[in-house]
Amino acid sequence: MNNALSIVLFSGTEDKLHAAGTIAAGAAAMDRPVNILLMYWALDAFRADRIEKDHGLAYDAARPRFNEPVGSMGDIPWLETFRQAKEIGEVSILACSGSLAVLGLEAAHMDPLVDASGGIAAFLMAAEGSQLIFI
Amino acid sequence: MTATVAELETMTTAKVVDARGSACPGPLLEAKRSMGTVPVGSVIEIWSTDPVTKSDIGAWSAKVGHDFLGVVEGEGYDRVFVRRQK
């Protein structure tokens, strides 16, 4: 069994980024390697020129609801959860090259938190036998 | 190995991590970071107002091989004790 945690991060809204960052940071604290593959809207959120901007909330938030997220959703904003995860553990963040192409982006557009662009085969090889979650 | 409340209250700690007011995963991340700054064999004490911290720190200790010593209830917060083992 591969001890790593693999996350396919597809979504680019504040709430889902925050959930993914929390799980990544928790796994890093537990000494588990974390492999993150950014696809589609997550790539947009990790663009160097957009990463500090408000990325809105997921579709679920459009429905009537009883609780509103407070401030930046917890005392560690989503961006900080990823920064801390990388600081305390072995965390790799790859930009899916296919999604980059679909969005008309290049790896150079990404924030420095993103390590490199990568292909799906390399990600799946690293993820083999690990837990894999899709957000 | 767990310790009694009386033992914990008189225990010498190398570091107190005040994570009160921080929600999950804040206290865990602070514990992880602080553990790297104290010598092996010494004890850190994490203060948290988040009620899940004690069980989370217990799970983390078991996973990474530290010695979870126990919890003392403070006024409105928990004092969680862990001995660094590696």
Residues B5-28: tens digit of each pLDDT: 999 989 999 999 999 988 888 899
Q: What is the pLDDT of residue A104?
A: 92
Could you tell me the CA-to-CA distances from A129 to A5, A6, A114 in Å, in that order?
10, 10, 24
Mean pLDDT of chain B: 92
Alpha helix positions (H), A30-77: 41-45
B39-74, pLDDT tens digit by residue? 999 999 999 998 889 989 998 999 899 999 999 999
Whether the pLDDT of residue A33 is over 90: the answer is yes
A56-90, pLDDT tens digit by residue? 888 877 777 777 766 555 567 899 999 999 999 99
Q: How far is A122 from chain B (nearest CA, A)?
A: 28
Q: Do A30 and B63 touch (CB under 8 A)?
A: yes
The minimal CB distance from B25 to the residues A25, A31, A87 is found for A25
Q: How far is B22 from chain A (nearest CA, A)?
A: 6
pLDDT band at B80 (very low <50, low <70, confident <90, very high): very high
Residue range of the domain that includes B46? 5-83
Residues in chain B: 86
Is A102 part of the contact surface with chain B (CB cutoff 8 Å)? Answer: no
pLDDT top residue among A105 and A60: A105
Alpha helix positions (H), chain B: 5-9, 26-35, 53-64
Could you tell me the CA-to-CA distances from B21 to A18, B5, B6, B18, B79 in Å, in that order?
18, 23, 26, 9, 13
Q: State how far the Cα of A18 lies from the Cα of A85, in Å rounded to an integer.
A: 12
Domain total of chain B: 1
Q: What is the pLDDT of residue A74?
A: 56
Q: How far is B5 from chain A (nearest CA, A)?
A: 26
Q: What is the pLDDT of residue A75?
A: 61
Is A84 part of the contact surface with chain B (CB cutoff 8 Å)? Answer: yes
ipTM of the complex: 0.71
Domain of B33, CATH number, reads 3.30.110.40
Mean pLDDT of chain A: 90
User: Residues of chain A with pLDDT > 70: what percent?
Assistant: 92
The CATH class of A5-58+72-134 is alpha beta
Chain B residue numbers with beta carbons less than 8 Å from the beta carbon of A80 are none
Pick from A84, A86, A87, A91 the residue to mutate for testing the B interface (most B CBs within 10 Å).
A84
